[in-house]
Structures are given as structure tokens and as C-alpha cells.
Amino acid sequence: MDGSHSVNTQKYDDSSVDVAVVGGSLAGCAIAIHLSKMGYRVAVFEKKVMAEQSYKKLCTHFVQPHTVPLLAGLGLDHLCEPAWSVATKAVFITPGGVVETPGSDYDPEQPGSYALNLERRILDPAIRAAAQRQGVEYIEGTSVESLEEDDSGWTLDTRSRNGSQLYRARMVVGADGHRSRLARLLGNPTESRPNERAALFGYFTGIEAPEGNRSIFVMNDRDLACTYPLIDGRTELVLFAEKSRVESWHGPEGRLQEFLKYFDGLDQAPSVANAVPESPLLGYSDYPSQLRQPVLGSVPFVGDAALSLDPMSGVGCGFALLSADLLARSLADRSLGGASFREAMDDYRQRFESTVLPHVEGICGDSLVDKDQASRKRMFETICESQELSQKYLALTGRMVLPEEFQRAFMRGLMTRGVGAVRK
């Protein structure tokens, strides 16, 4: 498999690695940690120069409950402590009622099944430090310009401010985000799905956290307004709204005023009357979902490089760590070459397709604003009338069950509701 040009005319660097991970954010660091624990020599190539506290700014920080147990395997279980994050659970204010279940757990049969409001300013430096403690070579400010595969592995042509350098690796992993340059170099096609909402978010003090540090999600018309309690008494407010609404809010000050006015008008949301902004609002106006093949040839892709979905779904951090975990499981007790490696790639593809991809259609459907609101209201009325369905809906949004399992429970709920209506 060829990159943009041959690199055989230059001298190889004296060192070589077992695994070259292209991209040094969550998914890249996670798979690097896992593979280093298996005894491989791993290098992460990150094109940006990372200051000690560098982190991703455009993120809602909501770590879904299916992801929280994965932190321990990365040496990050301390981030679950109150000094670093807020243990939370979702409450949905819907057109058909409030979806909420008792207790702090998403699943009563799984004690400790909670979500985390874990800010990227904490998580990103922590996972880079964990990778380096594990012995991963973190090579920042270095881009992979091209790469070439031969019978013994890969040659990577890299560029940094110090010039060009070649590296050899037995395996390459793509973890360079939703704009993945590696995917373009290798010809991994991108399937794009529309996202009809823009997003605005900001950090505030002066907002009282809901009981139990719940994270509140208000479905208002075709929008979703989110309230996330953070450490140190802070709150993140996030609005996913029709683009035309946000585009009419002009100027930083005017936009902030309209943003807070919007939250102030929501029923059952925490009061923002005393909200004090920590910084200007952040956001984006166009963020389509993107899908790629989880394996192309001999190269697996993880995190946003494989699947980047509408941030309204809150799965970015979770699927980044989950995809790395799935790849690590596929490579366990297998070699990096020959039939064993091909089996590992087939296994990863199957795990990804059975565990992650089933969520795609529902998430992409929710990215469209032109929905039948009457049907949506009836759906949530059915959910809110049933403790079982409310539990299943929370588990689905927390990615603890597959959509098929929720749909089966929902159909049972519809039939039960219909029988009850007939009896009346």
C-alpha cells in the first residue's frame, strides 16, 4: 500500500518500533498504552506540538457509563475521584415527560454504572502522561507525510521542524481524528452524513448543580439543551440547535445574552439567573458525521479516524476508548505478522461492526431536525410511562445496550400500552 510517494531513497533512522500510532489524542494514546502493556515498543506520532496542559477544546466532556470501566486499564482510574471529575447520570426532559430512574446507577444490577463529567483539560494531559509512564515514545510536532508497506512492515516518512526522518514499524494504527490524513494517504474512503444542528457551549459559575449532580438534557422543539455539573462548582452549558437559530445571534456579547436567555426560558433546567461566564462561548456550525472502514488492508483505525459522530450523541470520548480497547482485545495473544495478524484484523473489524456500528443509524437520524414531532411525543410518552423502558432508554443513550435491545423492549411497551387502552 503506497502513500503519496516512495521514501526508499533516504536513510532509515537507527531506531525502529513495533507499532507506529498516527495521532496522539485519546484513541491513539489508549491503544498505545494497551500495546505497550503487551510488550511492544510503541511510538505515537502527533502532528501538533503539545504543551503540558494542551487539550481538545470542542468537547462536552460527558464520558458515557460504558466507558468508565475502561479508564482503569489505562492507569486512569484515579480520574473517577471527585477531585478530578463529577459522577453523574442523565435526566431527559422530553416532549412526552421526564425520563429518569431512581438511584445513581444507570443499571441497578451494575453498581457503579455511572457517567462522568470529565473535562478534556484533565483527561488529555492525563492520558498522555499515562502513555509515557508506560514507556510509549510520544513524538510530537511530527507529521506522517507518506508511508510504504513491504514484506517486513512499514516505512514512515515524517516531517518536523527538525526536518525529515524515516521510521520503521511492523504495524501502523490510524488514530489521527475525523480529518484523518492517514485515511487519505491510504485511500480509506469517508462516508459523510449530514448534521443539521450547530452547537454553542460555555463554562459558568453561579449555577446550582441539580440534585445528585444529574446532567440535564432538555429536548426543546428540535433543539437539545444540556447542563453538565463540573468540578469546583462550575457548569458547562451546551446547546445543539437548528443552525438558523444560532446564526441569528450576532456578536460575542449578543450571542452570550441570547444563549443565556434561551436556557433561562427552559422548564426544569437549572436556573442561570446568577450565571457568570468563565470565557467566551465556543462552538461550531457544521460538523457532519463521518464513517470509515475500521480496517483498510493491514491498518486498523480507531477513534474519530474510524467513526466521528454528531457530538450531540456524546459518544466521542467513549467510542475513542472503546475502539482502542476492541483493537487491543483482538491483538491479544496474536502476533503482528502473518496469518495471526490477519486474524486479529478480521476480529477487530467484527468487534467494531457488532459493538459500535449498530448505534450509527439512530445517532445520524437524531442529527436531522425535520422529524415528525407528534410521533416523537408519542414515543416518549410510552417510554416515560414504563420504568423498564425508561431504564432501557438511559442504557441506550449510555451505550450500555444495543439499539436492537431497546427496540424490542419498546415494542413490548407499545403492545402493553395498546392493550391497556383497549381495556379502558
Cell of 93: 426532559
The chain-wide mean pLDDT, for the chain, equals 92
Q: Are strands 282-284 and 97-99 parallel, antiparallel or unpaired?
A: unpaired
Q: pLDDT tens digits, residue range 73-86?
A: 999 999 999 999 99
Which segments of 8-81 does DSSP mark as H helices, in order?
A: 26-37
Please measure the distance between the N-terminal and C-terminal CA atoms of the chain and give it in whole angstroms: 67
Stretch 391-404: mean pLDDT: 96
What's the pLDDT at 11? 42
**Residue 4 confidence class, pLDDT cut points 50, 70, 90:** very low
Q: Pick the residue with more confidence: 50 or 92?
A: 92
pLDDT of 114 above 80:
yes
pLDDT of 5 above 60:
no
Helices (H) and strands (E) in the chain, counts: 11, 22
- Contact (Cβ atoms closer than 8 angstroms) between residue 173 and residue 134: no
Enumerate the domain spans of the chain: 16-57+123-193+288-361, 196-284, 371-423
pLDDT of 407 above 60:
yes
Amino acid (one-letter) located at 94: T
CATH topology of domain 196-284: D-Amino Acid Oxidase; Chain A, domain 2 (3.30.9)
DSSP run (H or E) holding 172: strand 163-174
- The CATH code belonging to domain 16-57+123-193+288-361 is 3.50.50.60
What's the pLDDT at 248? 86
pLDDT of 15 above 90:
no
Q: Are strands 115-117 and 86-88 parallel, antiparallel or unpaired?
A: antiparallel
**Residue 421 confidence class, pLDDT cut points 50, 70, 90:** very low
DSSP 208: P
**Residue 137 confidence class, pLDDT cut points 50, 70, 90:** very high
Contacts (Cβ under 8 Å, ≥6 apart) of 16: 167, 168, 169
Dihedral (CA of 180, 184, 186, 189) sign: positive
pLDDT of 125 above 60:
yes
Stretch 7-25: mean pLDDT: 72
Q: pLDDT tens digits, residue range 318-368?
A: 999 999 999 999 999 999 999 999 999 999 999 999 999 999 999 999 999
DSSP 235-301: EEEEEEEEHHHHHT--SHHHHHHHHHHHHHT-TTSPP-TT-EESS--EEES---EEE--SEETTEEB
Q: pLDDT tens digits, residue range 240-281?
A: 999 988 888 988 788 999 999 999 989 889 999 999 999 899
Amino acid (one-letter) located at 59: C
What's the pLDDT at 60? 87
Alpha-carbon span 287 to 291, nearest angstrom: 13
What's the pLDDT at 418? 60
